[in-house]
Amino acid sequence: MLDAAASAPVVVLDASDWRERERAHAERADALTAGHRERAARGERHPIEDFLFTYYSYSPALLRRWHPGAGVALADASAEPRSAWRWYAPGAAAGSLVVDRAAMAREKGALLDAVERMLRLTAARPASFGCFGLHEWAMVYRQDEHRHPVPLRLGQTETDGVVEAHDLRCTHIDAFRFFTPGAVPRNRFAPTRESQPDLEQPGCLHANMDVYKWAVKLGPLVPGELLLDAFELARDIRYLDMRASPYDMEPWGGEPVRIETAEGKAEYVRLQRGFAERANALRRSILDAAFA
């Protein structure tokens, strides 16, 4: 669908308008990444927030770079540094710049098609809310060494008991691939990279965190404001992911969601539903911006 979008009408932003949006974007990005940058300078790590910069490997500088999105020309921008950025080209108006969607389609067509397909299929699929965040528990099941150097809230024996008392329903390959050998056969599904487009569903915390990854992969086709919305969503989801995990996250602001109890399950599902709604709204906005 990107080829058709390449010929869509272009909206022209006045220089004062787009420079103000660029400035506001940089300020917002700086605020969102301030804690991570300060900790990095001190050689410290936050096991909840810093995950977004290690797992996804996207730097604060990338978040700070504003794009207007597809179909938007920037007036009086040809003398700006962005004129040398990849996938920018002269617009129809003299001195303007526009994202070169046709060049992106030629160079990155397969990737763009895959991202569009993932976003559309996930948004259209019914959400499932019965996993209760047990993927993190399955990652430490019957193991003495864990991915995070943080104590288990219930200890190893009781943590293993929680896994054994529940039905594991993880549909996300990038969570399932970290399951311990003992947890793998306990899962209802066997996600693979090939089956990912058919299994991703909007109730999954990790699939919703990945909206940020997909926004990054679409590059300048996505307006900077949507990119930061996706980052904020991933950050908020990461907090629930770790609050509901078997780890003791209270020292880092992660009051536990005790999914081993009925009350904790209800709280998890309530928050999970809210994230599903936010993520699907973002998926639709990104699709409209990049592929309409």
Residue 146 pLDDT level (bands cut at 50, 70, 90) = confident
- pLDDT above 70 covers a percentage of the chain that reads 97
Q: Where are the domains of the chain?
A: 2-291
220-258 tens-digit pLDDT = 999 999 999 999 999 999 999 999 999 999 999 889 999
User: With pLDDT > 90 as the criterion, what percentage of the chain qualifies?
Assistant: 91
Please tell me the predicted confidence (pLDDT) of residue 8: 57
In degrees and rounded to multiples of 5, residue 97 shows phi and psi of -125, 150
* Mean pLDDT for the stretch of residues 209-229: 97
- Residue 198: its pLDDT value, please? 95
Q: Residue 277 is encoded by which pair of tokens?
A: 């709604």
The per-residue pLDDT for 145 is: 81
- pLDDT tens-place string over residues 69-112: 999 999 999 999 999 999 999 999 999 999 999 999 999 999 99
Strand arrangement, sheet containing 11-13: 11-13, 72-74, 97-99, 88-90
Q: Is the pLDDT of residue 2 over 60?
A: no
Averaged pLDDT for residues 173-184: 97
Average pLDDT on 29-45 reads 96
- Given pLDDT bands bounded at 50, 70 and 90, which one contains residue 117? very high
What pLDDT, on the 0 to 100 scale, is given for residue 7? Answer: 52
Predicted local confidence at residue 4, as pLDDT: 46
Q: In the predicted model, what is the mean pLDDT of residues 156-178?
A: 97
Q: What is the pLDDT of residue 148?
A: 78
pLDDT confidence band for 143 (50 / 70 / 90):
very high
Distance from C-alpha of 145 to C-alpha of 32, rounded to nearest angstrom: 32
Token pair listed for 286 = 């990104």
Which is nearest to 132 in space by CA: 270, 291, 269?
Answer: 269
* H helix runs in the chain, sequence order: 2-5, 15-42, 51-54, 60-64, 101-124, 135-138, 155-164, 173-176, 196-199, 205-217, 224-243, 262-291
**Res. 9: pLDDT tops 70:** no
- Would you place residue 189 in the very low, low, confident or very high pLDDT band (cuts 50, 70, 90)? very high
Given a cut of 90, whether residue 260 has pLDDT beyond it is yes
Asked if 267 and 257 touch (Cβ cutoff 8 Å), the reply is yes
Helix (H, G, I), strand (E, B) or coil at 96: coil
What pLDDT does 10 receive?
Answer: 82
What's the pLDDT band for 24 if we cut at 50, 70, 90? very high
**Average of per-residue pLDDT across 162-186:** 97
